[in-house]
């Protein structure tokens, strides 16, 4: 149980375009989903926390107008990188947590490359 | 906010040896401490976790100890195997009920040589 999927697994786009990444909890209802960014050989940096049906809470330094997060249902959250630039190239990973539980389950990640 | 320090950054051991990774945290209110294993290009996978009301937890070759007074916790892997080679991250949960996030350490690259 507790499987989280992400789509796409990798994406290459041109600078200035927008990219949408989906995160789904497959066998449980995720009250809260998290979006992380991981640069090569670095740790996971939390970008934002989203609760179903409410606005996302962004970490300091993360531009909410650039990284749009939607958590429309208990099994789906999306991250849209708007007007992507090469410095946005990274590994984006989501995680999901059942309400009241401790454990976060991670998706397989999405490798974004912006040319 | 919470700050988590993790040491060492790299650790090389021979197969069969034990490996120990240590983390310290800053927020004394933190009450949940998971450990994740991440292989190259893959998702982090939870390997063990501990809550603040417990001092030690063991699962086969893996154990975690927690010292709340000193605000540090450690991962112990015994009888290491080459497939244990990966990056290990500790984390501490920051925030109360209703809003809590994990703060991760910077990771330890464990290399187990045959």
pLDDT tops 80 at residue B97: no
**Per-residue model confidence as pLDDT tens digits over B24-60:** 999 988 999 999 999 999 999 999 999 988 899 999 9
- The DSSP code for A86 is G
- Going by the DSSP 8-state scheme, the letter that residue A56 receives in this structure is P
Residues of A in contact with B98 (CB under 8 A): none
Share of chain B above pLDDT 90, in %: 83
Please answer yes or no on whether A43 and B105 come within 8 Å at the CB atom.
Answer: yes
What is each CA distance from A85 to A12, A13, A14, A34, A112, in whole angstroms?
11, 9, 8, 22, 10
Closest CA to A24 of A107, A112, A109: A107
Asked whether the beta carbons of residue B89 and residue A43 sit closer than 8 angstroms, the reply is: yes
CA distance A75 to A72: 8
| pLDDT at residue number B98 | 57
Residue of chain A nearest B32, judged by CA positions? A102
CB pair distance less than 8 Å for B44 and A44: yes
Using the predicted structure, report yes or no on whether residue B14 has a pLDDT greater than 90.
Answer: yes
- The answer to whether residue A5 neighbours chain B at the CB level (below 8 Å) is no
What residue in B sits closest to A35 (Cα-Cα)?
Answer: B101
| Closest chain B C-alpha to A57 CA, distance in angstroms | 10
A49 at B interface, C-beta within 8 A: yes
Kindly state the tokens that stand for B62.
């893996």
Give me the residues of A, 75-94, that contact B with CB < 8 A. Answer: 91, 93
- 8 Å CB contact of B102 and A46: yes
Q: Any bridge partners for residue A64, and if so which? A: none
**Which residue is closest to B5 within chain A, CA to CA?**
A43
Angle at B34 between CA B82 and CA B91, to 5 degrees: 100
Q: Reduce the DSSP state of residue B84 to 3 states and report it.
A: helix
Whether the pLDDT of residue A46 is over 60: the answer is: yes
Q: How are beta strands B108-113 and B10-14 bridged, if at all? A: parallel
Q: Does A99 touch chain B (CB under 8 A)?
A: no
For residue A28, the model assigns a pLDDT of 87
Residue from A108, A101, A114 nearest A30 by CA: A101
Cα distance between residue B68 and residue B97, in whole Å: 20
Q: pLDDT band at residue A31, thresholds of 50, 70 and 90?
A: confident
Residues A6-31: what's their mean pLDDT?
Answer: 95
CB A69 within 8 A of CB A50: yes
pLDDT band per the 50, 70, 90 thresholds, residue B96: low
Contact: A43, B42; criterion CB under 8 Å: no
Over range B66-94, report the average pLDDT: 96
């Amino acid at each position: 149980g507790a499987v989280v999927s992400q789509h796409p697994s990798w994406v290459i786009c041109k600078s200035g375009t927008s990219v949408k990444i989906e995160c789904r909890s497959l066998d449980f209802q995720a009250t809260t989903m998290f979006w992380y960014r991981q640069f090569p050989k670095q740790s996971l940096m939390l970008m934002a926390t989203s609760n179903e049906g409410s606005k996302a809470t962004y970490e300091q330094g993360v531009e909410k107008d650039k990284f749009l997060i939607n958590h429309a249902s208990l099994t789906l959250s999306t991250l849209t990188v708007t007007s992507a630039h090469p410095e946005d190239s990274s590994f984006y990973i989501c995680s999901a947590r059942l309400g009241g539980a401790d454990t976060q389950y991670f998706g397989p990640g999405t490798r974004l490359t912006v040319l | 906010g919470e700050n988590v320090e993790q040491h060492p950054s790299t650790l090389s051991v021979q197969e069969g040896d034990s490996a120990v990774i240590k983390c310290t945290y800053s927020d004394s209110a933190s009450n949940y401490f998971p450990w994740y294993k991440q292989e190259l290009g893959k998702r982090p996978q939870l390997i063990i976790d501990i809550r603040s009301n417990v001092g030690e937890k063991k699962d086969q070759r893996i154990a975690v100890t927690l010292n709340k007074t000193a605000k540090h916790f450690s991962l112990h892997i015994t009888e290491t195997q080459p497939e244990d080679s990966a990056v290990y991250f500790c984390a501490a949960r920051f925030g109360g009920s209703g809003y809590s996030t994990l703060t991760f350490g910077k990771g330890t690259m464990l290399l187990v040589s045959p």
